[in-house]
Copies of this chain bind each other. A is one copy, B any other.
């Protein structure tokens, strides 16, 4: 009975698409994941391994022996294989290379020679090329003889005898134009190829802006070395979005949902430590006003409000500016205008909420002076939040630091310190 259930589970599991199997594996704790992994058919292993996140992948690879790993690599596209090799033990990498024929080995080495997050690292080598001087009819007969076409082939690449890229021949043209025309008459010579050293995010932008399915990749000498397809670009877009969200919380983008407790705690500890430093800085600022707080305890009750509202308002500006930076929409020419606009928005909201907070504080503690002081501190802190929200990410960008990673910490440190300083400082000056 038990083994019947296992058989059924195995059938259901392998009826899913590899990406779906991968999502499912990720959602199980380590022990159950291992059991489930054993149920995956060997022919699906490779595809599933490519779809799980980095951490889960290393875990699964540890469970496999060399033979299984070698089998999993067969049939992988060159770009996927290049990524996958980096997770394998060095001895096995050599074996994989030896098991390939010379042409494929050269292709793989070509992909491996570029950084993973560049066009060269993303590219595949399964290009279909044609010469300019043949007729479409010859191309059609060639394709029929060749048999299967690589996935995502919406265009063929036209190259000279020396692999020099001349242009693209769209499959739609191949299908709709008269067969006796030559490739040279039909090809699009204006199609802009992608240089192998283009960063992956720029490749993604190009694909999005120009609605591409595939594009040729050229090396520094203008020779066709591969092609990039939309599926890899979709992965780049998805990864980029995940990275921003995970990094904002100080997490690795490929964090395993069920990572071992130790390694998970260790990774997060760093972020907590950094934030602890900023918390101590804020505490230090409060400590400067111990005497004032002792006399007016209401200040201790109200002070987190000023700091927290500054943090929220600043984060709004920061988020907007970080997105604009990512889209390449902020430069020296419009930074001033942006700062001015955000300062105005901050001033408006500062005054509005200062009145509310000031009113409530006056009534709560029966001392209008406290209301006036907290209202003033709020306006100061929200203006400062708008200023930091624009200046902090732009400065980080200039220094080559990713504002999405560290912008939030710096910003809330500023709004905490300024918030406590303004509120307690004004109170010390005017209340004692």
Contact = CB atoms under 8 A, between A and B. Distances in A.
Nearest to A234: B208
Contact of A348 (B177, B265, B297): B265
Interface stretch (A119-127, A140-148, A158-166): A140-148
A279 B297 contact: no
Nearest to A242: B323
Interface residues of A, number: 111
A337 to B, nearest CB: 5
B283 A305 contact: yes
A257 B213 CA distance: 30
A279 B301 contact: no
A369 interface: no
A383 to B, nearest CB: 13
A349 B272 contact: yes
Interface in A103-159: 140, 143-144, 146-149, 151-154
A13 interface: no
A282 interface: yes
A337 B258 contact: yes
Contacts of A282: 304-305, 308
B283 A319 contact: no
A3 interface: no
B251 A338 contact: no
Interface string A189-220: 00000000000000000011111010000000
Interface string A231-265: 10110011011101110111100010110011011
Contacts of A348: 261-262, 265
Given A175-B143, A312-B275, A330-B27, A211 B237 contact: no
B255 A279 contact: no
Given A175-B174, A230-B213, A316 B237 contact: no
Contact of A316 (B208, B268, B318, B320): B268
Given A241-B245, A265-B344, A283-B304, 16 more contacts: A26-B327, A28-B334, A208-B234, A230-B234, A245-B245, A261-B341, A265-B352, A276-B305, A279-B304, A282-B308, A283-B301, A286-B300, A286-B301, A290-B297, A293-B300, A304-B304
Interface of A: 17, 19-20, 23, 26-29, 140, 143-144, 146-149, 151-154, 171-172, 174-178, 207-211, 213, 230-231, 233-234, 237-238, 240-242, 244-246, 248-251, 255, 257-258, 261-262, 264-265, 268-269, 271-273, 275-276, 279-280, 282-283, 286-287, 290, 293-294, 297-298, 300-305, 307-309, 312-313, 315-316, 318-320, 323-324, 327-331, 334, 337-338, 341, 344-345, 348-349, 352-353, 356-357, 360, 364, 416
